[in-house]
Structure 1
């Protein structure tokens, strides 16, 4: 177990994510005196070629026949979104653009920065709930494949009268 006090948190970031995940991470960081927040997006269309000691990676396209030169734009857009969320916040933060399997990439980053926990959001929409149930959500994969706590932030209210995706 890594003590919360003074250790960073790793925050999973996906496109069009609710800022509530970042705000929850900021609140938790303040409460635990976290040294920083590491926001991380994992590009599953790429794989990590080299994993560096600071948690950064050199990555390549999964398909060698496709020259994916748009990833820097995706990285810049996501980093800009995180910057907007963190504007005016007093918690230091970093952004990492990772590649490969989300659970593995986030775990590598957490090990590299000696993070105390992960903060991830739930997916919104019926399609994502079914896919998560069938494939296993990132939060579920993280909770079974490493030792750090996983804080899952609900980003939408689900009425108890609604059917679960597997019903």
Structure 2
């Protein structure tokens, strides 16, 4: 690469939900800081479909329900954005939130490709009902691993996952 060009922008993409344990977000932030890249937090609205995709990964979407109110642009949940900021604000990394639409694994994979992600981070679901649902429909992590070449980091969730992460004891 010629000296005048800057290296391509890199990132870690994390699939986020409002019910996700903090440990998944904190793990993604730690990975982004370790790799010195941007953390892109993506939420996928499965009750909508993409109408237009923009080069930065954002989308314009419409609800699947024809009786639902039309959207102009998909909006990231401000409460989830504030929670992410509280969890990673002191990490010294750039954080961006993106609202997507459609099938989760497909939307996350497409975003990861657009933002040149080094890694995709997802959490597992916890509980018996979630395990049964994943058995019949497949997990997002499995779907991601089979659809693209970007490494997928799966953060296991347990009943005690909210304590300090193993590498946080070192600080």
TM over 0.5: yes
Over 3 Å counting, the alpha-carbon distance change for 1:6 and 1:99 in structure 2 is closer
Unaligned runs of 5+ in 1: 159-167
- The equivalent residue for 1:164 is none
More deviation in 59-68 or 103-112? 59-68
**Number of positions where the alignment pairs a residue of Structure 1 with one of Structure 2:** 151
Tell me the TM-score normalized by structure 2: 0.81
User: How many angstroms apart in 1 are the aligned matches of 2:91 and 2:84?
Assistant: 11
8 A Cα contact 1:21 1:153, kept in partner: yes
- The equivalent residue for 2:16 is 13
8 A Cα contact 2:49 2:62, kept in partner: yes
User: How many angstroms apart in 2 are the aligned matches of 1:49 and 1:11?
Assistant: 23
User: How many angstroms apart in 1 are the aligned matches of 2:20 and 2:70?
Assistant: 23
Tell me the CA shift for residue 6 of structure 1. 6.8
User: How many angstroms apart in 2 are the aligned matches of 1:87 and 1:77?
Assistant: 15
8 A Cα contact 2:11 2:118, kept in partner: yes
Runs of 4+ in 1 over 3 A off after TM superposition: none
Tell me the CA shift for residue 67 of structure 1. 1.7
Alignment of 1:87-126 (within 5 A): 87-126=89-128
Alignment of 1:36-55 (within 5 A): 36-55=38-57
8 A Cα contact 1:6 1:32, kept in partner: no
RMSD: 2.0
8 A Cα contact 2:33 2:91, kept in partner: no
Unaligned runs of 5+ in 2: 1-7, 161-171
Deviations 1:35-78 (A, max 9, x none): 20000000101111101110000011001212277x74x62222
- The equivalent residue for 1:137 is 139
- The equivalent residue for 1:67 is 69
Deviations 1:78-113 (A, max 9, x none): 212212212212111100011000011111111111
Tell me the CA shift for residue 30 of structure 1. 2.3
8 A Cα contact 1:37 1:91, kept in partner: yes
Alignment of 1:24-43 (within 5 A): 24-33=27-36, 35-43=37-45
